């Protein structure tokens, strides 16, 4: 599976979000995690999913998420597998 590399920095005021369109919603496209790179600090993050870009459901509830060692400023957010097309 190819890796998509993007960069986004949230402007203030918070909260802010970034959205991705994975291009499909069929049952063969199931997702259960996302990998984020960030600065070495705690961020409060949640993950929302949608099949139609209109109705959103929480796939990972909001929580403090530490970026930093030992994973080179990365964090993997895991959630129950879902066939959503859009994620925020």
Is 11 domain-assigned?
no
Q: What percent of the chain has pLDDT over 70?
A: 80
Q: 22-65 pLDDT, tens per residue?
A: 887 666 678 999 888 777 777 888 999 999 999 999 999 998 88
Is 37 domain-assigned?
yes
The DSSP secondary structure of 5-66, one letter per residue, reads: -----PPSSSP----EE-S--STT--EEEEEEE--SSEEEEEEEEESSSSS-EEEEEEEEEE
Is 14 domain-assigned?
no
| pLDDT band at residue 1 under the 50/70/90 scheme | very low
Is 71 domain-assigned?
yes
Q: By residue range, what is the domain housing residue 76?
A: 25-87
The Cα–Cα gap between 29 and 88 comes to 17
Is 5 domain-assigned?
no
Query: What is the mean predicted confidence (pLDDT) over 16-21?
Result: 87
Is 19 domain-assigned?
no
What pLDDT is stored for residue 49 in this prediction? Answer: 95
With a cut of 60, say whether residue 71 has pLDDT above it: no
In this prediction the pTM is 0.78
Indicate the number of domains in the chain: 1
Strands 57-66 and 74-82: unpaired
Is 47 domain-assigned?
yes
């Amino acid at each position: 599976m190819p890796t998509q590399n993007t960069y986004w920095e949230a402007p203030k005021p918070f909260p802010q979000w970034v959205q991705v369109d994975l291009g499909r919603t069929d049952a063969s496209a199931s997702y259960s995690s996302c990998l984020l790179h960030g600065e070495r600090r705690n961020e409060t993050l949640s993950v929302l999913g949608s099949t139609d870009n209109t109705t959103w459901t929480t796939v990972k509830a909001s929580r403090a998420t530490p970026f930093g060692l030992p994973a080179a400023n990365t964090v993997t957010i895991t959630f129950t597998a879902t066939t959503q097309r859009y994620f925020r």
